[in-house]
Amino acid sequence: MKLTPTSKFVLLGIAVASLSACSTTKHAPMNTAPSTPSSGQVQTTPTMDNQYGFMTDSTLTNAQLLAIRTYYFQFNSTDLLGLNKQAVDAQGTYLSTQSTQRVLLAGNTDIQGSFEYNIGLGYRRAMAVQQELMAQGTSKTQLELVSFGPECPSNPAHTQDAYQQNRRVQLIYCQGESCQAAYQQTNCGKILKGNVN
């Protein structure tokens, strides 16, 4: 059977219509790869909200910043970011006006990596907070540092969120000239009781 050009066109239209009717609409998956805008920079959607203070918050008052005394760090990092840095800066400015006040900076890590490496990393995190406090006018004599590494988890679970909770420095105000009581306020206080100057 020979088809005329018009018949071929009609059959082709029917075939296309049939295929269109059978297709399903596919939605792009959530959290796809980042798109590249015309500027050439890669845009990504933040995967973590600000519960760990990695983004700045211009809505907090100085009193609210001073109330924040746990500063979080990203994996294998000693960088103070966002709200963490804002809160440390507020503490540094306040401590610069309170020359007799002392604080304990307790560095902590998650359990990933060797114990020795994590003890060092916890100390470097405490030093990062110390340096930022001093940049705001706090005296080095007001600051005592300790690293607990992975020994004193805030959350002992083995999840990424628990690990994030454990990557932190706690700032604890000391009573008088000794930080003995401040150690007891940390998660490791009972372990270290009597071993503090």
Identify the bridge partners of residue 104 per DSSP, sorted by sequence position: 144, 172
Domain span at 161: 53-192
In this structure, is residue 178 part of a structural domain? yes
Residue count of the chain, please give it. 197
In this structure, is residue 10 part of a structural domain? no
- Output the average pLDDT for the chain: 78
pLDDT in tens, 21-32: 443 333 333 222
pTM, entire model: 0.71
CATH number, residue 149: 3.30.1330.60
DSSP result, 133-172: HHHTT--GGGEEEEEEETSS-SS-S-SHHHHHHHSEEEEE
Identify the bridge partners of residue 169 per DSSP, sorted by sequence position: 71, 107
In this structure, is residue 141 part of a structural domain? yes
pLDDT in tens, 77-108: 999 999 999 999 999 999 999 999 999 999 99
In this structure, is residue 1 part of a structural domain? no
Looking at the 3D structure of the chain, how many domains does it have? 1
Q: What whole-number distance in Å separates Cα of residue 196 and Cα of residue 192?
A: 7
In this structure, is residue 67 part of a structural domain? yes
In this structure, is residue 94 part of a structural domain? yes
Phi/psi of residue 104, nearest 5 degrees:
-100, 130
